[in-house]
Amino acid sequence: MWREIKLLAASKPVIASMSDVAASGGYYIAMAADKIIAENLTLTGSIGVVTGKLNLGKLYEKVGFNKEIISRGRYAELLAADQRPLRPDEAELFAKSAQNIYQQFRDKAALSRSMPVEKMEEVAQGRVWTGNDASSRGLVDAIGGFSQAVAIAKQKANIPQDRQAIVAELSRPSPTLPEIISGIGNSVAEVDRTLKGLLQDLTFSNGVQARMDGILFQRLEEASYANPILTFLKDYLGSI
């Protein structure tokens, strides 16, 4: 995404306006813009990496759960083996991977902000700054809100400041009431079709159906994906 924004910025002005939080991934995207505008208290930076894995060994032991893994390759079960801690060589691999990703993040930040890597290292290391602090350290270009970002975009695009800008929001819209009702109707219709098909299969099946609940559960398992009603019915049958 950083690369795509950089390519876009080569053909037209790209201004990043940061509001409440623009840390880690948020700053990673913003730093590819031509200019970064932050508010006074915008949480900014967090140029760092967090990684690791769960160790559920004691939990598994407590609930009587046993997990066995068949793998091939020294690090094949690195993330799958959550029943044990990391081996020393695995921990070393994790640390090297995190350091490599961090260096890429830091170096891209330095390139984007036209800053020596050594200077960027001083303000990186996963630390978070307010907008004011980030501005004094070269992580953002100006303090202001969205309207100032629009004004800077107009200036860079040679658009008169008195011309009204059309703002297009690309966030996913919330579903309308007819769409919600339609979705419920489709779910109910799917439940009806699934149960009718199941009953028909059971009616014309040969032999003794010794485990009706198991057959029903299996069919619901196959049909419940992305259908909340079938998922609820499957979970209910599994609990009784």
Ranges of each domain in the chain? 2-50+94-156, 177-239
Please report, in tens digits, the pLDDT of each residue of the chain (240 residues total): 888 999 999 999 999 999 999 999 999 999 999 999 999 999 999 999 988 888 989 988 898 988 888 888 888 888 888 899 999 999 999 899 999 999 999 999 999 999 999 999 999 999 999 999 999 999 999 999 999 999 999 999 999 999 988 888 776 666 665 555 555 555 555 555 655 565 555 555 554 444 444 444 455 455 444 455 545 555 545 555
Strand partners, 128: 45
What are the structure tokens assigned to 169, written together? Answer: 């929001």
Give the residues across from 44 on adjacent strands: 22, 129
Catalogue the active-site residues.
24
Q: Which tokens in the block code for residue 177?
A: 């009431």
pLDDT at 117: 97
| Rounded Cα gap, residues 114 and 32, in angstroms | 11
Q: Would you state the pLDDT for residue 156?
A: 93
At residue 143, the 3 state secondary structure works out as: strand
Residue (of 164, 168, 191, 142) closest to 15 by Cα position: 142
pLDDT of residue 170: 73
Q: How far is CA 97 from the centre of its chain?
A: 20
How many whole angstroms separate alpha carbon 221 and alpha carbon 137?
A: 55
Enter the tokens of residue 60: 């598994």
Candidates 3.90.1150.10, 2.40.50.140, 3.40.5.90, 3.90.226.10; CATH matching 2-50+94-156:
3.90.226.10
pLDDT digits (tens, 9 = 90+) for 149-197: 999 999 999 999 999 888 887 766 666 655 555 555 555 555 556 555 6
pTM: 0.66
pLDDT at residue 217, as a whole number: 47
Number of helical (H) and strand (E) elements in the chain, helices listed first: 10, 6
pLDDT of amino acid 209: 46
List residues bridging with 129 in a β-sheet. 44
Q: Which residues of 113-130 are buried (b: 16+ CB within 10 A; e: fewer)?
A: bebeeeebbebbeeebbb
